[in-house]
Structure 1
């Protein structure tokens, strides 16, 4: 992890010369970033990481020979360097994140400009330079691997749980951290709303992946979706998601809007809407990520009576958002990524 003001040393790995040149030249003018080398494949990358000791590596997912996923599985356990994936719209990016990559950006393909791609990549490199990369990587997730809490409908207060709403927000490191929480929860969990900072096109694939691996239904939210037990809704990329009250029912609004706390969707937008709109029991969870998105919204939720959980420092890839939330008094209790589900379930068992 980079801890001083020296330039962030970056190695660019891509089998395409065009992509290597685009990234190298695009990052050249950034005052905090120094590209120290390029590599054309995973074998080349391994030798150059050993020789150049970069602070961050950018890597294409699909490369001839050893692809990015296999490289991460083989190399990261003994050489924990932060890796930013540079990928087209590809489901395999989530396998690479499970193998230990810190974050990813979408290659420019008409959905966004080269300038916005390079800006996003530079920002993610800066965040990755502060990230904690474990020396052991998780196995690829499979249904049934984690202990799942039993159904909660038989607790004798299902009416309270029917009207409970859970909000969860995460950023860097959050794709796998959120999975760690959700895969331990039962199918009849109270309605959940999730904001995960992610490029356009990937939120539906992410929701579909969680839907395959978790007990509850998970899908990308659509404007007007009703919140109900057994359903987790992922905020669509590039839209702001809010809670809307319709009598005794609650739905979501997914609409264009200005960025808030630097993001669209923004955790703060979701949490603030919950604090002002939700009149039933609610829970807020803030997880790994750089910056402060979600902290002020979580504080609003706590002041409105919500039970709030923050991921602890030890289990965060980046202890930014949960740290700010904790420091301003927005967090009722802190817990590790692996224990958040148990803390949530214990609380729900006493919900009135």
Structure 2
């Protein structure tokens, strides 16, 4: 297997050196060059033809978003963003993902060397995965350019009445995703009317990104989106996004479904984990659930989907062609627990047809 050829673009000499050391520790990756700004990077990309770029989100000469827009228009290349764990950093990172970036690595504000080295294995894994990503099939159905500034600073309850048509259904919809999932989730939920049954979502994201992503979801859908509190009652017309540092379960308490959040061990190297959410629904809801696995690296959600399938739930996965990475849905498919394989653009209508 050929080595993954990486170009590092970052205005920080320290970050460039640290990432070079991390990638050089892997026998599967070769750093073909480093660039202190996008103008230097532009020439190096033409000369070196790298397989993957790592790109700093905020640089003085040209910001990462402007560079990414030009790159995806002229020379689509897998990109892993290096982003700060701030509200602004989260918003810009989510915009980068909407423009075609494959994934991101959080950049710490302090103790940069130790923190990045602690995540060396994850960083290497993300770059190797990015080299295999289906970026040429990237389906930009989320935010249009300029929409990022229209997203409100906080979530608001929407004044949509919940009609009886869908709300009378006792179904619950569960979405799980990882790499490429922020855009896939928005693509799905923007097709849901305000009276859709409750939707619970587990997407692999750090806590600092949860509030921002919830606002991005809320911006594209008629449903009301929130990051739930422990003990919150599940209601139709609402989307509940698992916070980035807690597992989320849906438990039955009497006739009601209630959100349970807990700080447990990592599952499949993730917290929140899709398997935790799916397994809880297999026990609490059974045949009244619809489980959906979207694009993502790894196997999280496959075991839980199998449990839901055994409990009588309807199971849906995103197809390989439209997935950025067909890891999680592919793992479920291999387990034989999938009822429907659907391209991303058809998932919302498929779900609504099953309610």
What's the TM-score once normalised by structure 1's chain length? 0.89
SS at structure 2 position matched to 1:210 = helix
Counting only pairs closer than 5 Å after superposition, residues 145-156 of structure 1 correspond to structure 2 as: 153-155=163-165
1:237 and 2:239 correspond? no
CA RMSD, Structure 1 to Structure 2 (Å): 2.1
CA distance, structure 1, for counterparts of residue 138 and residue 131 of structure 2: 19
CA distance, structure 1, for counterparts of residue 42 and residue 66 of structure 2: 12
Partner of 2:83: 87
Deviation at 1:137, TM superposition (A): 6.7
Partner of 1:72: 68
Does the 8 Å contact 1:80/1:135 carry over to 2?
no
Does the 8 Å contact 2:200/2:239 carry over to 1?
yes
Deviation at 1:154, TM superposition (A): 4.4
**Structure 2 spans left out of the alignment, 5+ residues:** 148-159
Partner of 1:26: 22
Does the 8 Å contact 2:161/2:194 carry over to 1?
yes
Partner of 1:286: 293
Does the 8 Å contact 1:292/1:324 carry over to 2?
yes
Partner of 1:170: 177
Does the 8 Å contact 1:224/1:252 carry over to 2?
yes
CA distance, structure 2, for counterparts of residue 174 and residue 136 of structure 1: 12
CA distance, structure 2, for counterparts of residue 135 and residue 243 of structure 1: 34
Please state which structure has a larger fraction of its residues in helix: 2
Partner of residue 219 from structure 1, selected from 200, 218, 226? 226
Partner of 2:154: none
Partner of 1:146: none
Deviation at 1:39, TM superposition (A): 0.9
Deviation at 1:188, TM superposition (A): 1.6
Partner of 2:44: 48
CA distance, structure 2, for counterparts of residue 285 and residue 213 of structure 1: 19
Partner of 2:199: 192
Residues 339-348 or 73-82, more deviating: 73-82
CA distance, structure 2, for counterparts of residue 136 and residue 218 of structure 1: 25
What's the TM-score once normalised by structure 2's chain length? 0.88
Aligned residues: 335
**Structure 1 spans left out of the alignment, 5+ residues:** 144-149
| Alpha-carbon displacement from aligned partner over 1:12-67 (angstroms, at most 9, x marks no partner) | 10111122122112322123222111011112112111211211110011112332
Partner of residue 253 from structure 2, selected from 242, 246, 260? 246
CA distance, structure 2, for counterparts of residue 244 and residue 141 of structure 1: 33
Counting only pairs closer than 5 Å after superposition, residues 1-352 of structure 1 correspond to structure 2 as: 5-88=1-84, 89=86, 90=89, 91-110=91-110, 113-134=115-136, 138=140, 141=143, 153-155=163-165, 158-159=167-168, 161=169, 163-278=170-285, 281-348=288-355
